[in-house]
Chains A and B, each alone.
Chain A
Amino acid sequence: MLIATVRDYLEAVKSGEIKAEDFLPEAIQKAERIQKAYSPFITIDKKARPSASKGPLYGLPVSIKDSICTNGMQTTAGSKILEGYIPPFDATCVTRIKDSGAAIIGKTAMDEFGFGTFSTNCAYGAPKNPLDIERSCGGSSGGAGCITAAADFPHIAIAQSTGGSITAPAAFTGTVGLTPTYGRVSRYGLIDYSNSMDKIGVISKCVYDSALMLSVISGHDPLDSTSSEVKSEDFTKHLNSDVKGMKIALPKEYFSSGIDPKIAKLVRDKAERLQQLGAKVEDVSLPLTKYAMPAYYMIALSEASTNLAKFCGLRYGLQKEIQGNFDEYFSKIRTEGFGEEAKRRIIFGTYARMAGYRDAYYLKAFKVRARIIDEFKKTFAKYDALITPSMPILPPKFSDISKLSPIQIYNMDIMTTAPNMAGMPTLSVPIGKIDGLPVGMQIISNHFMEGKTIAIGAKIEELK
């Protein structure tokens, strides 16, 4: 029996047409074949079974980004320094997924600790783009994008974004990526990159799947003091909301130089279609956008450099024979355990918060963030959503990525850093192909207005 979608599968399981216990081994075999071809996983659980006796996602295969802790299942955050680490607890979102009856089939590849845009900084190998294996799936949630694009069975991926790590892989693999409002989904159990910006979200084949999964994982969690008190809701109800009368803006800074003009044109074309459907589309200017990228890296790396201090080979993860004093021992562990990009970001972040530089870099970046949030808030007082390209380029070839400097790579995040650092929800939806390669459109909305991005995203999906 061929089941095409998550929705069909869950209905078939519910009606008894299909038994999840029969279906799952088949799905895992498929996942293993995909693993051989594209390497989306760091760990696959061959014995995955529904985690609860019933629930809205009963029997659904779900993959989890490897920076999210799974009790009893290896969790490495893509780093060698956590090789073999088996967490003693589940992240809150994993608990909620298990309670919904879903089956966790494995942990997906990622840039080490989320440090990257192309998943090329993964200690366990970069996932390959199923549409062209010479190209990147994007990052840092590259494995999540990869398995979602390649899966020929119903599946939803849990991903995570700090500065664009859901949008980038969604755009490059032609999938849907939902980055919720900061605080919407508990971060408890997420291995931190930049705690003030980390957001757990979803990558899926269609908008419905993302909305469905967000309904399961969102809502307040007392274990995460930054998780919002805003109640969870059934986000699928927004799928049929009309875009007629919605006010949508195209920020000109997101369509200027540095962006592939073909991508910019495709996004504008889709916006025009929305206008035809009754939305009011206008151009706006967000002049602070250019400050987002440097400020984002200041904050993210300052926080990351303290988050990564705990990895010193004493209590978990990579360990060696103890020789020398504490300083010598942890230096050895960290030298061997961290990849090049992790080391670069630790040095960068440590520098930005040092006495003498702290005011000029770390503290100033916070002021910039406050101004950027303010700019978004003012814009959303007039508009329901903003529409931008998801990524400024088409999925690049690995051979081209290796020629890029770190700054050139950081510049790939220009579409995503501002909304991410402001904690605004975004939805990346595929809008077609250029030269056979997928293009994504990013819909940005105000805090806790995921529903609006879902409504617009669903309409874009219908236009296909």
Chain B
Amino acid sequence: MSVMIGVEVHTQLNTESKIFCSDSTDARDKKPNENTCPICLGFPGSKPKLNKRALEFGMLIGLALNCKITGTMFFSRKAYFYPDLSKNYQITQYEAPVATEGHLAIGDEKIRIRRVHIEEDPAKLMYVDGDINTAKYVIMDYNRAGTPLAEIVTEPDFTSPKQVRAFLEKMSSILEHLGVYDSSKEASLRVDANISVDGGERVEIKNITGFENVEKALSFELVRQNGLRRVNATVKRETRHFNAELKTTSALRTKEFEEDYGYIFDPDLPTIVVGKDWVEELQANMPELPDQRVARFIKQYKLNDYTSTVLVYTDKCLADFFEESCKLYKKPEVVSNWLMNYILKSLNWRSERIRDSKVKPDTFIEMLKLIEDGKITERYAKELVKEYVDTGTSPKKLAEKNIVKMSEADVEKIVVQTLKQNSNVAEEYKAGRKESLQFLIGKVLAATNKQADPNIIRKLLLKELESK
């Protein structure tokens, strides 16, 4: 059975001030309702004033998604009563969004972008001693109210939950490369997904955060809807909620008709005419986008396609970290190998992002240099990674007691001694049992208290074994 999926991605835009007033958007160290003023609280007589930067961020997103930028645009009021809306209407874009008709390639497939528009974020509601159904009351924090949001709406072009996840990862990287989005902020990417299977109605899953959750929610829905269809039951048109703990969806409300928001033009905000010059200027100053960066990585650092893609699309700060490190240590293949195979794995295990971690390019390359200089063994370095990621302590310091101190002459003595003690194994090797070499290396290494480089041990062992 085939499936159709479309998504709406909501992202907070990383402007300094709110979309319609001059309050700061950064409330991380602020008390509730501290970043507010008569405008974002909707006091009588206050009027919104558009933050041009928020509009430009919307335009940049549109351009990055190959959209047409709307020449004449305006804002609308979406009217509905809800306590998180200070005016009981939201200022958004309805008939004239910032951008329309774009597309984004996911592998060989093209996902069409229907529209990109900007709007104001409502306040944050907190349910006291319970959830939306059980709490006795809610408390409201308007610090978030008026933070600019962009909403990106796709056509229902996705054919699998996995593809949606790939799209979201790419989208997130694009937004980060544009510098319009701060992925470290709480819930800064929220997804509504529509999914329908053959013969079923469209089901909307609201407000999912986290790409993994989106994939899980859609996978659950797909199984649920296919199950219903297999027994010829109807899939109702409804809005569902994703429970991240149970990894299931549950019905929020049945949608018999579209909500009527009674949209009108917002008469406080004049029509904006976007001239060709403005678009061209934005286009000219467009930052490097992920696809371009991947291509550059392949060319500049001689990395393969896979490695470049992982570095760029996992997280913009991983790619930035890689480039910083390459400036300090000019062996990109070594940098990418250690970064992807060890550091990233350790971070993933801790569910940490490189930017928020204690790992820094200068200390990271210290480790690579220690290996290169033969001061620590690769094997030891792999053990060291965990402690380094945990503490961020300079690898030099961490490795102090394990720095390879033993000279080759000393190692040679131990090699000779070990061969004597294990003469039967040495004989086996000479008789053709090549695996025995590994056993002997282990023995020597243990005898040196891991103070010797296994490569040197191997070299010396072979020399001894061949000579006799």
* Interface residues, chain A, with chain B CB atoms under 8 Å away: 68-69, 75, 77, 82, 85, 87-89, 91, 187-192, 194-196, 222-226, 302-303, 305-306, 309-312, 314-317, 322, 326-327, 330, 350, 353-355, 358, 362, 366
By a CB distance below 8 angstroms, the chain A residues around B87 are 306, 309-310
CB neighbours of B46 from chain A (8 A): 89, 188-189
B44 engages A88 (CB within 8 Å): no
A69 to B77 CA separation, bound complex (whole angstroms)? 23
**A contact residues around B86 at 8 Å (CB):** 310, 315
Distance from B306 Cβ to chain A, minimum over Cβ atoms (Å): 50
B77 contacts A88, CB within 8 Å?
Answer: no
* Contact A188–B47 (Cβ < 8 Å): yes
Q: Quick one: CB contact mask for B5-43 with A, threshold 8 Å, 1 for yes?
A: 000000000000000000000000000000000100111
CA of A262 to CA of B38 in the docked complex: distance in angstroms? Answer: 49
Tell me the chain B residues, 70-102 only, with Cβ under 8 Å from chain A: 77, 79, 81-83, 86-89
B442 interface contact, C-beta 8 A: no
Q: Given A195-B268, A355-B260, verify A187-B47 contact (CB < 8 Å).
A: yes
Contact A226 B262 (CB under 8 A): no
Q: CB within 8 A of A87: which of B43, B83, B268?
A: B43
**Structural contact, A222 and B49, CB atoms closer than 8 A:** yes
Per-position 1/0 for B270-284, Cβ under 8 A of A: 100000000000000
Among B45, B49, B82, contact of A69 (Cβ-Cβ < 8 Å): B45
* B residues in contact with A310, CB < 8 Å: 42, 44, 86-88
Identify which of A192, A314, A353 contacts B83 (C-beta below 8 A).
A314
Total number of residue pairs linking A and B with CB closer than 8 Å: 104
CA–CA, A417 and B88, complex, Å: 28
Complex Cα distance, B137 from A189, in Å, reads: 32
Q: Contact mask B192-225 → A, CB, 8 Å, 1/0?
A: 0000000000000000000000000000000000
B437: interface (CB < 8 Å): no
What is B's interface to A at a CB cutoff of 8 Å? 38, 41-50, 77, 79, 81-83, 86-89, 137, 258, 260, 262-265, 267-270
Of chain B, the residue at the smallest CB distance from A222 is B49
Cα distance, A187 to B81, chains bound together (Å): 25
Per the bound structure, the CA–CA distance linking A190 and B89 in Å amounts to: 18
Q: A223-B49, A306-B79 are in contact. Are A316 and B267 (CB under 8 A)?
A: no
Nearest chain A CB to B34 CB, angstrom units: 15
Say yes or no: A191-B44 contact (C-beta < 8 A), given A306-B264, A309-B89, A354-B260: yes
Q: A69-B44, A315-B41, A355-B262 are in contact. List 5 more A-B contacts (CB 8 A).
A: A195-B267, A196-B267, A309-B79, A353-B264, A355-B260
Considering the chains assembled together, what is the distance between the CA atoms of A358 and B76 in angstroms? 14
User: Are A312 and B270 closer than 8 Å at their CB atoms?
Assistant: no
Q: Is the interface of B mostly helix, strand, loop or mixed?
A: loop
Report which of B47, B50, B82 forms a contact with A224, defined as CB distance below 8 A: B47
* Closest residue of B by beta carbon distance from A331: B81
Minimum CB distance partner of B77 in chain A: A306
A225 touches B50 (CB 8 A): yes
Q: Is the CB of A362 within 8 A of B81?
A: no
Within 8 Å CB of A316, what residues of B? 43-44
Please give the distance in Å from A364's CB to the nearest CB on chain B: 13
Residues of B within 8 A of A189 (CB): 45-46
A88-B38, A225-B269, A309-B87 given; A191·B81 CB < 8 A? no
Q: Which residue of B lies closest to A81 (CB)?
A: B44
29 A-B residue pairings within 8 Å (CB atoms): A69-B44, A77-B44, A87-B38, A89-B38, A89-B43, A188-B45, A188-B46, A189-B45, A190-B45, A192-B268, A194-B267, A224-B47, A224-B268, A225-B48, A225-B268, A305-B79, A305-B262, A306-B87, A306-B262, A309-B89, A315-B41, A316-B43, A316-B44, A326-B82, A327-B81, A353-B79, A354-B260, A355-B258, A355-B260
Residues of A within 8 A of B265 (CB): 196, 366
The closest CB in chain B to the CB of A350 belongs to B262
Of chain B, the residue at the smallest CB distance from A353 is B262
Alpha-carbon distance A226/B265, docked complex (angstroms):
13
B81 in contact with A312 (CB, 8 Å): yes
CA distance A310 to B137 in the complex (A): 20
Closest Cβ of chain A to B348, distance in Å, is: 42
- Given the known interface contacts A306-B89, A306-B262, A353-B263, the answer about A225 and B270 at a Cβ–Cβ threshold of 8 Å is yes
Residue with the highest number of chain A CB atoms closer than 10 Å, among B38, B42, B43: B43
Tell me, rounded to whole Å, the shortest Cβ–Cβ distance linking B460 to chain A.
80
Residues of A contacting B270 with CB < 8 Å? 225-226
Q: Are B43 and A303 in contact (CB under 8 A)?
A: no
Please, how many angstroms separate the alpha-carbon atoms of A68 and B45 in the complex? 7
Closest residue of chain B to A183, judged by CB?
B270
Beta-carbon contact of A362 and B44 below 8 Å: no
CB-based nearest A residue for B38:
A89
Q: How far is the CB of A464 from chain B (nearest CB, A)?
A: 38
Cβ-defined contact, B83 with A362, below 8 A? no
A305 CA to B82 CA, complexed, in Å? 16
CB distance from A195 to the nearest CB of B (A): 4
Q: How far is the CB of B250 from chain A (nearest CB, A)?
A: 21
Query: Is A303 within 8 A of B264, CB to CB?
Result: yes
Most central of B42, B45, B79, B262 by chain A CB within 10 Å: B45
Closest residue of chain B to A79, judged by CB?
Answer: B44
Q: Which of A222, A224, A312 has the most CB of B within 10 A?
A: A312
User: Whole-angstrom distance between the alpha carbons of A317 and B42 in the complex?
Assistant: 13
With A196-B267, A306-B79: A225-B49 Cβ-Cβ less than 8 Å: yes
Q: Which residues of B contact A225 (CB under 8 A)?
A: 47-50, 268-270
Q: Once the chains are docked, how many angstroms separate the CA of A223 from the CA of B269?
A: 11
Closest-by-CB residue of B relative to A91 is B45
Chain A contacts for B258, CB-based, 8 A: 355
Nearest A residue to B259 via CB reads A355
The interface residues of chain B lying within 8 Å CB-to-CB of A196 are: 265, 267
Which residue from B41, B44, B79, B88 sits with its C-beta under 8 Å from A312?
B88
* B262 pairs with A330, CB closer than 8 A: no
- The answer for the CA separation of A353 and B94 in the assembled complex, in Å, is 14
CA distance A20 to B41 in the complex (A): 38
Q: Which partner residue on chain A sits nearest B261 by CB separation?
A: A355
Neighbouring A residues of B268 by C-beta, 8 Å: 192, 195, 224-226
| CB-CB nearest 4 A-B residue pairs | A309-B88, A196-B267, A195-B267, A69-B45
Complex: how many Å from CA A224 to CA B258?
34
